[in-house]
Amino acid sequence: MNGKLPSESYVIMTNLVLPNDTNQLGNLLGGRLMHWIDIAAALAAMRHSSKVCVTASVDVINFFEPIKLGHVVKVLATVNRAFSTSMEIGVKVYREDPLNGVEVHSSSAYLTFVAIDQYGKPLSVPPITPNSAEELRRFEEAAIRRAQRLQNRELMKANRSK
């Protein structure tokens, strides 16, 4: 299977924060942002694999800065690395205050998606071919995070069998 460039999976989703998206403080609900992150990551996974993809795990979502009512939210997602049937998707979220044009990195996340067939069985996906120093860094770090995920899974399995 030929490798694909990370840029081939790149997704930018743009949303306006409306009153229905906020909590009583006027901040974007964390759950709404998680929903947008999941959608952007799914689109990146599907672009890379050309297959239906499902969320297998969410490693981490970091919230650095609040996003306010009226801000524009940009969710950027790309495949960092593809394994045999799974892909790690890196997501960065930026908030922009459209009144002054200031853009701030507000959140980051790592998600794992699996390509599946019509019966829910995993399908193989093409590998990623990093094309820049930044893409290579993300590619290598994805392998470290995957090893940690697999180690955590084994620890949890061993704990359940006690």
> Per-residue pLDDT tens for 38-58?
999 999 999 999 999 999 999
Tokens of 123: 């399908």
Query: Given phi > 0 = left and psi -120 to 50 = alpha, else beta, which region is 13?
Result: beta
d(C-alpha 105, C-alpha 79), whole Å: 19
How do the pLDDT tens digits run along the chain, 162 residues long? Answer: 679 999 999 999 999 999 999 999 999 999 999 999 999 999 999 999 999 999 999 998 999 999 999 999 999 999 999 999 999 999 999 999 999 999 999 999 999 999 999 999 999 999 999 999 999 999 999 999 999 999 988 998 888 887
Global pTM value: 0.93
> Per-residue pLDDT tens for 62-79?
999 999 999 999 999 999
Domains in the chain, please, with CATH? 6-160 (3.10.129.10)
CB–CB of 6/79 below 8 Å? Answer: yes
